[in-house]
Amino acid sequence: MTVTPSIWLIGGTSESRELAQVLAVNHLPCTISVTTESARSLYPCTPLLQVWVGQLEGDRLQDFIFSHKIIAILDASHPYATHISQLAIKAGEKYRLPYLRYERKPITHSHSPPEKAIENEKILSLPSFETLIEGEYLAGERVLLTTGYRTLHLFQPWQERSLMYARVLPAVTSLEAALAAGFTPDRIIGIRPPISLELERALWQHWQITLVVSKASGTPGGEPIKRQLATELGVKLILIDRPLVAYPQQTDDLSTAVAFCRTHFCDRLGDTSLPGN
């Protein structure tokens, strides 16, 4: 069976869903990699889009590239999913595949109205989770963690020094991680984003939260809502900066990402050294 060359779109985010839709409209075949079966539903059902579910490591990554005849890499993974980005960058270098990082714009304090400057002093950015854990930021607070289940174990030592709540995806893996990190069932809520302003406010007020910890994930991650509520309710908000990754190329412009795919798809169609040939 002849395999059509395709773009590898690293997915699992709202940005990747938008990219997939636009690539399909532009008749650019792509193979979307996601880590969970539930993420498959993010993408439209069309012959031009294939969704591959699983973890890409070692020989499995090589097999993926060759079997799907990948000709370029468009990385739209979550800003904090640095492992897959680093794997993709190395794969691009090894197999001579063009790579482009597509990432949501970060939100800066300049987005806040001038009259809110004093209140927004409650919003603090920290460079890493380690900085947060090693400091005294959490001491005596009623803390809501919205950082994902993979970080919850870091906060286990703080369970005795603060009252901690966790919001995670409604999945077995997430709930098990929360329980293992010392969160009791009454301090865990499983809910899938996006979270509305009203629901976010109700949750903070119900649990009498005094400090929220989140990632600086931009608009798709609900950061503007958290900033607004921190100001409105007088709740402290700590945002963990995005990890630094040396991306070969990066853009936040949708048309640039589509042009990248179109250019490399057309350039490589006649190249007999394509993976899979």
Same domain for 120 and 62? Answer: no
Which residues span the domain enclosing 122?
Answer: 109-240
Contact status, residue 69 vs residue 45, Cβ threshold 8 Å: no
Q: Which residues, listed in sequence order, are joined to residue 30 by a DSSP beta bridge?
A: 7, 49
Q: Which residues, listed in sequence order, are joined to residue 242 by a DSSP beta bridge?
A: none
pLDDT at 277: 42
Same domain for 82 and 168? Answer: no
* 119, pLDDT greater than 60: no
Same domain for 116 and 222? Answer: yes
pLDDT at 275: 44
**274 lies in a domain?**
no
pLDDT at 258: 94
Same domain for 215 and 180? Answer: yes
20 vs 36, more confident: 20
**What tens digit of pLDDT does each residue of 237-267 get?**
999 998 889 999 999 999 999 999 999 887 7
pLDDT band for 269, please (50, 70, 90 cuts).
low
Same domain for 34 and 86? Answer: yes
**175 lies in a domain?**
yes
Instruction: For residue 167, give the amino acid letter.
Output: R
User: Pairing mode, if any, of strands 163-168 and 142-145?
Assistant: parallel
Contact status, residue 11 vs residue 39, Cβ threshold 8 Å: yes
Total domains, the chain: 2
Same domain for 95 and 119? Answer: no
**What tens digit of pLDDT does each residue of 67-96 get?**
999 999 999 998 888 999 999 999 999 999
Residues 6+ apart with CB under 8 A from 80: 148, 215, 217, 242, 243
Same domain for 217 and 255? Answer: no
Centre a 10 Å sphere on the Cβ of residue 130 and count the other Cβ atoms it contains. 11
Same domain for 197 and 234? Answer: yes
C-alpha span between 35 and 54 (Å, rounded): 5
At 45, list the tokens: 């059902």
The CATH number of the domain where 162 resides is what? 3.40.50.20
**What tens digit of pLDDT does each residue of 194-227 get?**
899 999 999 999 999 999 999 998 887 789 999 9
Same domain for 165 and 207? Answer: yes
pLDDT band for 2, please (50, 70, 90 cuts).
low
pLDDT at 118: 35
Contact status, residue 108 vs residue 123, Cβ threshold 8 Å: no
Terminal C-alpha separation, the chain: 12
Same domain for 101 and 113? Answer: no
**275 lies in a domain?**
no
Same domain for 161 and 94? Answer: no
Q: What is the mean pLDDT of the chain?
A: 89
